[in-house]
Structures are given as C-alpha cells and as structure tokens.
A = this chain, B = another copy of it.
Amino acid sequence: MSRSEKPDMKERILETADRLFYLRGIRAVGVDTVAAEIGISKRTLYNHFPSKDALIRAYLERRFTRVPASDKPPVEQILGTFDRLERGFASKGFRGCPFVNAVAELGTEDRAVRKIAIAFKESRRVWFRDLLLQLDVPDPEGLATQLTLLVDGSIAQDLVRDDPSMARAAKQAAAVLLANAGVEVGGDAAEKPQPATDRRRPASS
C-alpha cells in the first residue's frame, strides 16, 4: 500500500492538523497552512482527505483517546484525574477542551462534530461511573455527572484565566463529593491549604 518513505502521510497530516487546529483554532487555520507546515502540496492533502470537514472530523476522532486502564484504587484514579488535569493546564500547549472548542467554533448545528463531542463527554462520565460502582456509592450515575462538571468547569476556567490551580480547586470539591457519598478519601489526596489565589503563570495577564 504505502509507497511513501515517511511512515504514513495521512498520520503526518493529522498530527499537524491536530496541533494547528487545537492551538490556533479550526476556523483560523486553513488547509494551505496545514500543508505548508508539513512541507507538502495542498493537492497531497486533498488526496488523503476529501474536504476540510473530513479533516476536522478525523482530527476530533483522533483526539478521542481512551483513558488508560489502571490497577490503582478507584479513589486514587478519580482524584488523580485532577492531578493530570493540573499538569495539563500548566503545560504550554493547553488550550481548553478540543471538543468543547470545536462545538463553540463550528456551532451546535454541525451534527458530526457534536456527535463526537457528546461521545467523548459520555465516555469520561462512564469511566467515572464504573470506578464509582466499585466504591458502592449510593448514586454512581449522578455523582459521575457531577465529577464531569468539575472537570469541564476547571478546563473552561483555565482556558479563560490560565490558572492551573483551578484543577486543584476541582480536586478538593471532588474529594468532598466523594466523602459525602461515604467514600474513604485519603487525607493527603486533597491537599487542603493552598489559598489558591494567583497561581497564574507569569506569562499571562
């Protein structure tokens, strides 16, 4: 099949489109820009993707990475999510949730895009729920939803404020919700102190 020297041209296009779409915005990046960034002709790009819409869909589907399985205790996995979030926020390349951004950019009328976004949000909710089922909480479905609210809330707040401590605030709230559901939460899991005021990266504001 593949006669091209570089492993897979389609994957190279997707990698570049992912980086540009996510960092600069989907509408802000043209197909010419994507092709030029890789150093290929626009024609080659259109030989792999019939339209920009198809490229956008492929970009979002590629972003749909499953959360890796873990053998750690469910509580640690749940609260660890917010630690990963905080590290993500602090990294330079973070710019919000690609699915929420895509819906915000392309509108709710774009069925294909919204379908992928919904699937992603639901997959995370189910991931929470399955962990909560192991913990025997009274209402795993509802609590899982509440945890996703904290995740998406901290992502939106960090996108605007560029303040990674939002993940820490979300983690503390999650710990309270878990404790309220009868789950034993390790004392060090949610480091309480931390006034959380002004933990912005100096680059911003």
**Residues 1 to 42 of chain A near chain B (Cβ within 8 Å):** 24-25, 27-28
B141 touches A197 (CB 8 A): yes
B161 touches A153 (CB 8 A): no
Q: At the interface, yes or no: A177 with Cβ under 8 Å from chain B?
A: yes
Known contacts A100-B156, A104-B101, A149-B150; A118 and B161 CB within 8 A of each other: yes
| Total identical chains | 2
CB distance from A162 to the nearest CB of B (A): 7
Name A's B-contacting residues (CB within 8 A).
Answer: 24-25, 27-28, 95-97, 99-101, 103-108, 114, 117-118, 121-122, 141-142, 145-146, 148-157, 159-162, 166, 169-170, 172-173, 176-177, 179-180, 195-197, 205
Instruction: Sample 13 A-B pairs with CB under 8 A, ordered by A number.
Output: A25-B107, A96-B104, A108-B159, A118-B161, A121-B161, A141-B195, A141-B196, A142-B172, A145-B166, A146-B169, A149-B157, A152-B156, A176-B177
